[in-house]
């Protein structure tokens, strides 16, 4: 069975890596009409934490943070 986009996103976050193609797919589902190259260029300009925050809220995720506010993992 294919992983859902939410499951893939949670896995990406918990592995503390960035999958730009997954973020592009998620952004397109939200109505982005630009090319993948335009998205990648934009991703280099904006703060990644802002992009991740949008999807953390969209998926209604609970984040575990350390005392310094650094991300540890997503808890469900």
Residues in the chain: 76
Quick one: average pLDDT of 56-60?
Answer: 94
> Distance between CA atoms of 37 and 55, rounded to whole angstroms?
20
Residue 1 has pLDDT above 90, yes or no: no
Stretch 63-70: mean pLDDT: 95
Average pLDDT (65-71) is 95
**What pLDDT, on a 0 to 100 scale, did the predictor assign at position 76?**
74
Mean pLDDT of 21-29: 95
Residue 2 has pLDDT above 90, yes or no: no
Q: Which residue has the tokens 């650094």?
A: 70
Whether 66 and 72 have beta carbons less than 8 Å apart is answered as yes
């Amino acid at each position: 069975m294919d992983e859902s986009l939410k499951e893939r996103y949670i896995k990406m976050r918990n592995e503390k890596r960035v999958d730009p193609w997954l973020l592009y797919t998620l952004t397109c589902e939200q109505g982005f009409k630009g090319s993948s190259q335009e998205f990648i260029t934009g991703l280099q300009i904006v703060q990644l934490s802002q992009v991740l925050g949008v999807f953390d809220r969209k998926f209604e995720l609970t984040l575990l943070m350390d005392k310094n506010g650094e991300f540890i993992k997503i808890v469900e």
